[in-house]
Amino acid sequence: MILLGSFFLVDSYRQKIIQATISSEQLSRLDSIEFFTNSTERLNKLLTAENRSAWLHLAKLYAKKNADIAYQLGNYYLIDGRIMYAKIWLKESVRQHHQGAMLALANHYFKTKQYQESKSLVLPILENDAALVLLYKLAIQQGDTAFLAEHQEALSGLENSDFYQELVNFSVFTAEKNKLNPQCNVSVQLFATNLNGLRHGTKLITQFQQHKLAPYICLLTPKYIPYELVNCQDNSHEKISCKANVWANRTDISSRYVGLIVEQGGANVDNGIMYIDQQDNVEVLAHELSHLIGFIDEYPLPSQHQKCQQNQQIPFSYNVVTLTESYFGERTEIRKRLLAKLPWASLIKDSTPILTKQDQGWKLTTPVEYLNEIGIFLARSCDKSANIQSYKPYYHRTQLEYFELDFPQSYIDIMALAPKQYLMPSYHFNVSRDLAQQGEYKQAREILRATLFR
């Protein structure tokens, strides 16, 4: 009778497990009776039967005394995107000293930028390989150069050395000059302030190889620089702006230009330094790089932009000029004078007009019938400046106006007429300017005198 009663009790509790109604007390009684079946077997049977609700119910009952099951629950909720529940069960597993849970929760904190919480979880288990890797990511993120140096030997000794080699390639441990390709018109040394930025820079370099500008601009393997050193304005809604003084102390830059990748902010070029963020794609990169070598934006520039204050005395870019709109006199003579002011003059066919008849005199513009020719077409660059009109050689919109559009081959042809004619000054100009603003006039002059790029 006792055995028969136990049989019915066990069967009843098994049904309650399947129905997700068993209580903690009933489960404890079942475990004492059916001691030859453990928690893992019960949970696996539910998974095999694809009874997810029963699995969750049973796992929660076991988790408070079983670190592995609490860890499984935490991971389940992480994958399901229910972060609050994931954290509850991972913390429960951590309370029971489960290293996997410590790592899972620390990785979550790292991804959500809760760096101190992440560090406090994995620092006690530094001997764990995965913990050491995460601590290195944290050290790079937070600019903890002392940690980077102190544990380099331990990191290099990991069985999987790919991560260590990646950091070596990113100059995390040593600062050496990258070799320049003499076939490139210009080179840009990329830097990034965290591991995601370094990896993003590497990805952009690969993608940029397919761009039309790639034969003329060499991007050098990104190097690590702590964020605190570059001293950037921390506003994601404004263009990126950082102090240039730090570059004066770098002995590992052999390029004319510097490109800095930060977490957030608006991409832009400031003389010899290009700024982009970790969300910018290769189209944005190409657009900004084109400024370094002499192309100007074709979307409306700020009204105070220096190129839109007066008509040009001499050309200042490959693709935009600022000229008077109306002319009077003999057409042939006017055309001759105008062509002398255009960087792309030699690519305009004799049969392509650049002046259109108006009531009195001539209006500077190529008629729309010639939209597929090189000519003189209205540009939007100086639209915000009431008295200045800008022009471009190409009727259609380009990557200089919208990142997603094509960079026309005709612009490459124009650049080939006078390579390096409109290059931005090297990054040393930025360094000198910032030093001068701080009153360090002697050092500012020395920086410019020592510059190798002209």
- Closest listed residue to residue 256, CA positions, set 424, 417, 418: 424
Overall pTM > 0.85:
yes
Residues 264 and 328 in one domain: no
What is the per-residue pLDDT for 34?
75
Domain, as residue range, for 334: 306-417
Q: Give the model's pLDDT for residue 165.
A: 95
Q: What is the DSSP string of 36-90?
A: TS-HHHHHHHHHHTT-HHHHHHHHHHHHTT-HHHHHHHHHHHHHHT-HHHHHHHH
Residue 407 in any domain: the answer is: yes
pLDDT at 10: 75
Considering only residues 158 and 8, tell me which one the structure prediction assigns the higher pLDDT.
Answer: 158
pLDDT band at 2 (very low <50, low <70, confident <90, very high): very low
Same-domain status, 109 and 194:
no
Q: Is residue 442 part of a domain?
A: no
- Report whether pLDDT(194) > 70: yes
Q: Which residues does 52 contact at the CB level (< 8 Å), separation at least 6?
A: 46
Q: In angstroms, rounded to a whole number, what is the distance separating the alpha carbons of residues 69 and 440?
A: 63
Can you tell me the distance from the alpha carbon of 99 to that of 306, in angstroms, rounded to the nearest whole number?
59
Do 394 and 352 belong to one domain?
yes
How confident is residue 35, by pLDDT bands cut at 50, 70 and 90?
A: low
The total number of structural domains in the chain stands at 3
- The last residue of a domain, from among 262, 293, 324: 293
Residues 288 and 311 grouped into a single domain:
no
Q: Is the pLDDT score of 347 beyond 90?
A: yes
Whether 454 shows a pLDDT value over 70: the answer reads: no
Please report how many Cα atoms fall inside a 13 Å half-sphere around the Cα of residue 335, on the Cβ side: 17
Residue 371 lies in a domain: yes
The pairing of beta strand 390-392 with beta strand 377-379 = antiparallel
Confidence check: pLDDT of 80 > 90: yes
- Residue ranges in 254-340 assigned as alpha helix (H): 282-293, 331-339
Same-domain pairing of 321 and 289: no
